[in-house]
Structure 1
């Protein structure tokens, strides 16, 4: 068995790495971390030794990320975010499934509860059921005609280096109908952090996306958060069910397919129904079956 690599100061090492990767300047990194040049250099050297690859090169006295550094950056940021969320009691598991409850002072929030796939079959939403049926019929091949009836409802991503890149946005997808045609038409080819949700949502997408990429299967989440709307990017509450499907492009590379339905019918531990229904009723994409909520 290979020796397990570990280090008691892992998070300090990662902070030095991600901050230097952002500034590409040792003096600014030291100032931001309230550290010393020797400490930051030592942290980078330790990480490079542990990983067995060089993360930075210095060209004309300027730090630059190597290919290995660029590949490592997003995961390093994700590890830091997940670690901070765990320490702050924002992330954990409920019934063995992933749960996030994150609130920030400016009003931004992110709540997620992972649910068993079987709940889709016992639920009322036909689009999510069709997503599983057509995924099965297509055997996960995203270009297969079996997906055609719901293709306009899908959003598709490809993993490239450290980022997920949008490759398709259906005109009837939750993304297109929430952000509008301007973003629908200009999102193809963009990395997730450069989409309207920005870095905050990119971090939250990482764990579910990587989970599905590892299993090549399905994942079902209920989510409530704040997302920008309109030309001025005003944040508004949004509540939705999300089915992620592990698929394949024609070249047999991995394709991440997202099928999202905005809904009031969510169950998220620690989140009230009033918060779920703070999303405008006009944005609900499925019928509200409870007459008390009409």
Structure 2
């Protein structure tokens, strides 16, 4: 009597039930992949319009190019010019002074207003909108021109000081006050940071403050031991964005000084000097070198912030 080896048991399939084989799974995966590329297409196109100019500007940084002739390779000569150009040092100093004054003052002002609004005042939505409105308007050309008019010799600020017999300085024409006037414009538009701070404050559990009050901790101790540590990730976020934005300042100095960086180069921001070299003198090679130095500086400060953040930024874990 012969014996037939039994094969693997098969599960009966009901008539009309869907079957999924390898071929079906492959088609589903391919369809999902195509859909992913369709949704990624806008980002990929935007990346193309970013990477290509980056590469071209890096190439031009090593050339002598003035838009009227083909780029001529000169190596590191453009970067060597940076050391001998006094306006590079001046514009760097102006930009750093503006950054290291406006960013801390803006953060402190935004946090202070957010803490006041977090107290549950009436009309919270109205006040939040009022303080956020300047950041929506931003530092556009019209706003900078308005600011220049307000702080002009016969502007509202000097008119108000004159009511108390105080002679107002030349906010626009005096080199000692021009940069400070632009700092006030930067602080005035702290609304975006304020809204982010307010959202962060709303995430801190009230029971922490209640327990601290029971233990006798005052407002200052609660601020140091509860608010600032738990809000440190939000502070770090606003700090990084503020530094990057301030180091790239251009519109304020251009409109305020008419593109000259005056008075006496007191508002000659680094990006404004870069613009002068590239679009007024058409020295595109040197302007590209200036742009890449700025890119490296911004990357350095950003990396430094992330490096030291582990010492003062506290997360839930």
TM-score (norm 1): 0.25
State the structure with bigger RCO (CA 8 A, min sep 6), 1 or 2: 2
Question: TM-score of the superposition, structure 2-length normalised?
Answer: 0.23
Higher helix share: 2
- Highest Rg: 1 or 2? 2
